[in-house]
Amino acid sequence: MEAKKHKVLASNGGYSLVELIVTVLISGVVMLAVMGFLTSGLNHFRNVNSESLLQMESQMTELFVTELIQESTDYRKVTDLPSGVSAALEIERGTEYYILALVGNELRFGTPTTGSTVSEKVANVAAQDRNKTFLAQYVTDFSLASGGETFDDAKNNFFQGTLVTIQYQVDQKSYTSSSLIKLQNIQRN
Amino acid sequence: MEMSRRKWNNAGMSLVEIVVVVLIMGILSAGAVVGFSFIRNRDASSAAEALLTALNRAKIQTTASDGVNDITLRVVADGDGYSAKILKSGTVIDEVEIGDSALTIVAKNDDGSISKTVSGTNVCDITFQKSNGAFTSNYTKLIVTGSKTVTVRMVTSTGRSYIE
């Protein structure tokens, strides 16, 4: 009796090696399960994060491009592209002349300082310092119907417009923005 | 007896010993967490990220606002650090925490003729054009200095910003 009481109050037996190993194994299994939850949660967060990133990017770019084309007096798709540029547009607004170019995954916007042919002008804007021309990132494709078409606004009011499509991608998540731009200063046909 | 004790000592650790070890580890890791957050507060790159978020939000607010060019992004230094406030006609509608007061933030233009260090009375106001979201303020870079220096570039003609 005396011996038993002593054992309960201040047992000096401690844990055996086997007990410790079992504890470590069990906590290992628990840790693995927790890690699994954590990584799946992180993946979900990344997905949502890149989607909102692309939406924000698109929102900021779309307004700029819309205003640019809407107010333009003429715009032309560039067919003779210099190397490193996958799409480009010449834009005229009165006497002002701009180039919109897709360089790698970035949209650049600026006025050429040198170049006589269109291709040279596009190459010049693409080579200009990023801190003067950066417009958008994560862009994989940029296209629009050249020259404008006639659209019907469903109330039988016909207007000259063009459909601009910009595709974005980050971490396997892609986003496409399409907007129909009404041309204010261009009358064709 | 002596031989078997050495080969297989069953004494192990007592519960009290393990509790003490866990307590010490807890105190150490709590200290590490506090230290880590302090370093984070001084970190210039997280401040630059926050500035970028504020710039993008202010740009979107300007273009989406029902008023014309009534949105201002104001970078201020107050008691506990820097923050960026988005003002609509002078009223705060959004606020982003930038970082600890141990940082310094300097706003500059391209040729360096404008250089403003953000402090108590010196605030830095950044504005955008409603029609296309381009910058109407003259600053082209925000230089954040902490344990290292990070520059946020502002592209005047497009209204976009990025971390250099």
Look at A135 and B158 and tell me if their CB atoms are within 8 Å. Answer: yes
Tens digit of each residue's pLDDT (9 = 90 or more) over A51-90: 888 998 898 898 899 888 888 888 888 888 898 899 998 8
pLDDT number for residue A37:
94
For residue A13, tell me if it sits in a domain.
no
- Nearest by CB to residue A109, choosing from B56, B153, B158, is B158
For residue A130, tell me if it sits in a domain.
yes
pTM across the whole model: 0.75
Look at B155 and A135 and tell me if their CB atoms are within 8 Å. Answer: yes
**Looking at beta carbons, which pairs linking B24-29 to residues 24 or more positions away fall under 8 Å?**
none
Give the C-alpha distances (Å, rounded to integers) separating A131 from A17, A123, B125.
64, 16, 20
For residue A14, tell me if it sits in a domain.
no
When pLDDT is cut at 50, 70 and 90, the band that residue A163 belongs to is: confident
Beta strands in B59-159 (DSSP E): 71-78, 81-88, 91-100, 104-108, 115-117, 124-127, 141-145, 149-155
Instruction: Mention every residue, 6+ apart, whose C-beta is less than 8 A from residue A116.
Output: none
Look at A56 and B131 and tell me if their CB atoms are within 8 Å. Answer: no
Alpha-carbon distance B79 to nearest alpha carbon in chain A (angstroms): 32
Look at B155 and A133 and tell me if their CB atoms are within 8 Å. Answer: yes
Tens digit of each residue's pLDDT (9 = 90 or more) over B23-51: 999 999 999 888 776 666 568 888 899 99
Tens digit of each residue's pLDDT (9 = 90 or more) over B85-115: 999 988 999 999 988 888 889 999 888 888 8
- Nearest by CB to residue A60, choosing from B10, B12, B59, is B59
Per the prediction, chain A carries an average pLDDT of 84
Task: Kindly list the residues from chain A whose CB atom is less than 8 angstroms away from the CB atom of residue B140.
Answer: 131
Q: Does the pLDDT of residue B1 top 80, yes or no?
A: no
CB B117 within 8 A of CB B104: yes
CB A129 within 8 A of CB B110: no
For residue A27, tell me if it sits in a domain.
no
Domain that includes residue A176, residue range:
56-182
pLDDT number for residue A12:
63
Look at A64 and B155 and tell me if their CB atoms are within 8 Å. Answer: no
pLDDT number for residue B40:
60
Tens digit of each residue's pLDDT (9 = 90 or more) over B115-148: 888 888 888 899 999 888 899 998 999 999 888 8
Look at A14 and B159 and tell me if their CB atoms are within 8 Å. Answer: no
Give the C-alpha distances (Å, rounded to integers) separating A66 from A117, A133, A152, A179.
26, 17, 19, 8
Q: The complex's ipTM?
A: 0.72
Q: How many CA atoms lie within 13 A of A76 on its CB side?
A: 10
- Preferred mutation among A63, A65, A93, A106 to probe B, highest tally of B CBs within 10 A: A63
Domain count, chain A: 1
